[in-house]
Amino acid sequence: MSYLDLFGSIKAFVFDVDGVLTNGQVVLLPDGQQMRQMHSKDGYALQLAVKKGYHVCIITGGNSIQVKERLTALGITDIYLKSSHKDDAMLDFMHSYDLKPEEIMYMGDDIPDIAAMQMIGLPASPADASPEIKMICQFVSKKNGGEGCVRDIIEQIMRSHEKWYNHEQNLDNLAEFTW
């Protein structure tokens, strides 16, 4: 079965942070803070998905307040920080919205994501994900982590559902979106 065949049933997007929403690099600041960089096009796609009625979830082993604030500003409410067992967070998210595995896309990049990714219908990864992750994925983006891979998968799925921007859409309605 092609990943395109799986797009039709997707109602929820789940993403890891480091290596997916970011390029995986962490800058250590003198005060102990850790700085990450996120792509604005990923942010636009995330908030659009929320506004179009998709469930969006973040499951990360990290515990950055700045990351949580950024994601909350995009309208994401299901954010699991310090998740050492991502499969437990995935089960909680699925039960919260009565989601079936085939209704979920999960994009991860490394070994801590495997258990959760094996639970869902559309496992996906950035182009630079670990080989172990790519082996279990139905979709591998041509974009690296932190370089638009989130936008890539969201846009493709939303286009297949005819929920992405089209040329007939009123541009005035897009002014309310932030990224």
- How many CB atoms within 10 Å of residue 65? 9
Tens of pLDDT, residue by residue over 34-68, are: 888 999 999 999 999 999 999 999 999 999 999 99
Instruction: Answer with the residue of higher pLDDT: 89 or 25.
Output: 89
Domains of the chain by residue range: 3-162
Instruction: Indicate the CATH number for domain 3-162.
Output: 3.40.50.1000
Predicted confidence (pLDDT) at residue 140 exceeds the cutoff of 90: yes
In this prediction, residue 138 carries a pLDDT of: 96
pLDDT of residue 26: 85
Q: The pTM is what? A: 0.91
| CA–CA dist 125, 116 (Å, integer) | 13
